[in-house]
Amino acid sequence: MLPWDLYVIITTSLGGGRPTLELVRQALAGGATAIQLREKELPARQLVALGREIRELTRSAGATFIIDDRLDVALAVEADGVHIGQEDLPAAIARRLLGPGRILGVSVGTVDQARQAVADGADYLGVGTLFATSSKGDAGEPIGLAGLKAIREAVTVPIVGIGGINSSNAAGVMAAGADGVAVISAVIGAPDITAAARELLAAVRQSRA
């Protein structure tokens, strides 16, 4: 199974004015095991150029590289996979277009959505929003740890919790059944991104021990 421990989502506008590649480098230096590029406003050409550079950084670090939403860009930059939401390209279509060699992640917030995503070919699920968060405008109402536990009991694929997670509540997320945590502002919004990533990764791994 891929190491989903610390899944850092890169949205440059939340990075305190720092360049995208610097956010990625510092997150990887802190031990991020997966990087997702989530830039909703960038044109495809810019996204591909950026994605190619991040592909090299993640490959060197041994980290998984996922593109948010844009399956075409994921294929163009040879990312490890794509992550889609409930309003994006249907998961079954994404699975067919991706082929068997790449990873498909799907955002879910209910047991029914989780079961459907798995039936459609999802390799892992992003489960949330767990706690209140300002990092994602379309996050919806938090489902809490009880919602996470219910989804964990319903599916066997890896799941990463998302939404309002930080080093103080990460252990609870793991105890509820997550295989890792996905974060935006808790890492890339921190003054010291590398230190924030290390602290969060330690909380995740200590919770397993």
Neighbouring C-beta atoms of residue 52, cutoff 10 Å: 14
Beta carbons within 8 Å of 137's beta carbon, 6+ residues apart: none
- Catalytic: which of 55, 70, 102, 107? 107
Nearest Cα neighbor of 199 from 171, 176, 175, 173 is 171
- The yes-or-no answer on residue 107 being catalytic is yes
How many angstroms separate the Cα of 131 from the Cα of each of 37, 107, 122, 169? 22, 15, 23, 10
Active site residue 136: yes
* CA pair distance 60, 34, nearest whole angstrom: 12
Q: Return the number of other C-beta atoms located less than 10 Å from residue 75's C-beta.
A: 15
Catalytic residue at 60?
A: no
How buried is 134 (Cβ within 10 angstroms: 0-12 exposed, 13-18 middle, 19+ buried)? exposed
CA of residue 40 relative to chain centroid, distance? 15
Q: Tell me which of 38, 55, 70, 152 is the catalytic residue.
A: 38
Q: Which of 136, 152, 167, 198 is catalytic?
A: 136
Alpha carbons within 13 angstroms on the beta-carbon side of residue 53 total 12
Instruction: Give the active site residues.
Output: 38, 107, 136
